[in-house]
Amino acid sequence: MKNRCPTCGTLYADDARFCTRDGTRLLGGTPVSSTAQDAHAPTPPRSTAAPARSDAAAPVSHNNLVGKTLQGHYQIVKKVGEGGMSFVYLANDISTRERYAIKVLSAALSRDENAMARLRREASVGMRLAHPNICHIIRLGETEDGLVYVVMPFVEGEVLSDRTNRRGVIPLGESARLVRDIASGLEVAHELKIVHRDLKPENVMVARGADGQEHAVVMDFGLAKERRAGAELQKLTATGIILGTPEFMSPEQLRGKPLDARTDIYSLALMTYEMLTGKLPFQGRTQQEMMIARLRSEPVSLRKMRPELDFPESVERVLNKAMERNPDDRYQRATEFAEAFAAAAAERSTPSGENRLLGKLFGR
């Protein structure tokens, strides 16, 4: 019987406890023939080898974190997501048993100076954004083995894009509540002169609080930018390089112009339109055509896009103002847009509005 490393598969003698290659705790009880033992078993360690370390101190990497403890503090439970430059794990705080999300920079990018500068910037931004409607960064850490990670609250819920795709459209009243929450989070960032720049449905989580009520949480300020950028940030976002998601970019962002809070308001208006209709207000066969439409054309009328939903004219008017190509013509604060939208949406709750909707639904 041999012990096996679950990470690299190397077999060891039955008295070995840790893999000498990557420090992973070995799994016991692996049957091996004498031939296999001769071919695959590593040379027994010399008596001068360093003593085996505890699991909490064993070397770790981005792809073998489950079951590990980061710096004696965060017990990794499971992987919950991954992207091009990071892996996200659910972890429990050993002391408090609170749950956190641990975002780990990939092994290759942890050695990239630009990526590290970006992560430090993300952390410095995120730690200033503590708010119920923002998933903020709590701390930036690095293990002795060079693994770099950030700690965030663990937000459990449904991604807004998934909800819209599942239901087709989000009712007007529910949309107004979500817009209010998103705007509240953005307002905190904007007051600190921080612009999200990549606001989209995929970056909003609909979670349920301890009171049982749903609320929206803005995620991933990884592209967030302080309006007064320093030399380091200017180097990272060189002139001509556009960061963000094309479908929800503002016209000034597409043109590579300076950005402020009003670019997030534009993106929020696009998201609101999509929640209400299941579609975006600028049409095109390709992403490029849709981008050009935002620069040159007017949005498709909300009531023309979904006439059967009988939206109040005031709702369309509020959205059109928030989607003006010129930032000066938009709402200047996120909460200003949210309040105007909520007031317009409230018109649907009037008896006459309800009767018009029921008449269309039931053919009266």
Whole-model pTM: value is 0.72
Q: What is the pLDDT of residue 81?
A: 81
Above 90 in pLDDT, residue 128? Answer: no
Average the pLDDT over 335-351 and give the result.
Answer: 86
> What are the chain's domains?
1-37 (no CATH), 69-153 (3.30.200.20), 157-362 (1.10.510.10)
Q: Say if CB 234 and CB 150 are below 8 A apart.
A: no
Above 60 in pLDDT, residue 223? Answer: no
- Can you tell me whether residue 8 is helix, strand or coil? coil
Q: How far apart, in whole angstroms, are the C-alpha atoms of residue 25 and residue 23?
A: 7
What is the token pair recorded at 333? 């604060």
Q: What is the pLDDT of residue 125?
A: 75
Most confident by average pLDDT, 211-215, 224-228, 262-266, 292-296: 262-266
Strand partners, 21: none
Confidence of residue 358 (pLDDT cuts 50, 70, 90): very low
Exactly one of 198, 211, 220, 310 is catalytic; which is it?
198
Above 90 in pLDDT, residue 134? Answer: yes
Q: How far apart, in whole angstroms, are the C-alpha atoms of residue 81 and residue 83?
A: 7
Q: What is the pLDDT of residue 51?
A: 38
pLDDT (tens digit per residue) in 115-127: 788 777 777 877 8
Amino acid identity of 279?
K
pLDDT (tens digit per residue) in 87-111: 889 999 999 999 999 988 777 777 7
Q: What is the pLDDT of residue 263?
A: 96
Q: What is the pLDDT of residue 2?
A: 57
Catalytic residue list contains 93: no
- Can you tell me whether residue 4 is helix, strand or coil? strand
Above 50 in pLDDT, residue 69? Answer: yes
Q: How far apart, in whole angstroms, are the C-alpha atoms of residue 328 and residue 349?
A: 31
